[in-house]
Amino acid sequence: MTVTKEPTASVGTAPAERSLTGSLGVTSIVLMVVAAAAPLTVIGGSAPLGILLGNGVGFPSMFVVAAIVLLFFAVGLAAMTRHVPKPGAFFTFVNYGLGKPAGLATAFLALLTYTTIQVAVYGYVGYILSVTLTGLGAPDLPWYLYALAAVALVGFLGYRHIDLSSKVLGVLLLGEVGVVLALVVAVVVNGGPEGLSMAPFEPNNVLTGSPAIGLMFAIAAFIGFESTAIFRDEAKDPGRTIPRATYVAVIGIGVFYTLASWALVMAWGPSGVVAQAAENPGAMILITTLAYLGPIGQVVMNVLLITSMFACVLSFHNVITRYQHSMSNARVLPDFLGRVHTKHSAPHLSSIVQTGTAGILIVVFAVLGLDPVLQVFTWLSGVATLSIAILMAVTSIAVVVYFARTKQDRRLWNTVIAPVLGLLGLLGAAVLIATNFPFLVGDVDADGAPVFGVVSAVLLGLVVIFPLGGLVQALILKRTNRVAYDQITDAIGG
Q: Is residue 12 part of a domain?
A: no
Q: Which residues touch 331 (CB under 8 Å, ≥6 apart)?
A: 11, 484, 487, 488, 491
Would 3 be classed as within a structural domain? Answer: no
Domain that holds residue 362: 26-491
Mutual orientation of helices 418-435 and 378-406 as an angle, nearest 10°? 150
173 CB-contact burial (10 Å; exposed 0-12 / middle 13-18 / buried 19+)? buried
CA dist., res. 37 & res. 344, Å (int):
25
- Number of domains into which the chain is organized: 1
Q: Is the predicted pLDDT of residue 274 greater than 90, yes or no?
A: yes
Q: How far apart are CA 340 and CA 347, in angstroms?
A: 4
Q: If you average pLDDT over residues 235-263, what whole number do you get? A: 83
pLDDT, residue 239, reads: 64
- On whether residue 16 sits in a domain, the answer given is no
DSSP collapsed to 3 states, 380-435? HHHHHHHHHHHHHHHHHHHHHHHHHHHCCCCCHHHHHHHHHHHHHHHHHHHHHHHH
* Most confident region among 108-112, 163-167, 265-269 by mean pLDDT: 265-269
pTM for the whole structure:
0.80
**Band of pLDDT at residue 348, cut at 50, 70 and 90:** confident
8 A C-beta contact, residue 398 and residue 94: yes
Kindly tell me the sign of the dihedral angle through the C-alpha atoms of 116, 121, 124, 126.
negative
Query: In this structure, is residue 334 part of a structural domain?
Result: yes
Q: Is residue 14 part of a domain?
A: no
Poorest-pLDDT segment among 294-303, 343-352, 483-492? 483-492
Mean pLDDT of 330-357: 76
CA atoms within a 13 Å half-sphere pointing along the CA-CB vector of 384? 26
Determine what percent of the chain is predicted with pLDDT higher than 70. Answer: 82
CATH code, domain with 163: 1.20.1740.10
Percent of the chain with pLDDT over 90: 40
Residue 341 pLDDT: 59
- On whether residue 330 sits in a domain, the answer given is yes
Taking the CB of residue 348, how many other CB atoms lie within 10 A of it? 19
Q: Tell me: the pLDDT tens digits for 142-171?
A: 999 999 999 998 888 876 655 555 666 677
**In this model, does residue 419 exceed pLDDT 60?**
yes
Q: Can you say whether the dihedral through the CA atoms of 451, 454, 459, 460 is positive or negative?
A: positive
Does 2 fall in a domain? Answer: no
Report pLDDT digits (tens) over 374-403.
889 889 988 998 999 999 999 999 999 999
Assigned domain for 318 exists:
yes
Phi, psi of 254 (to 5 degrees): -60, -50
Q: Is the pLDDT of residue 427 over 70?
A: yes
Mean of all residue pLDDT scores within the chain: 83
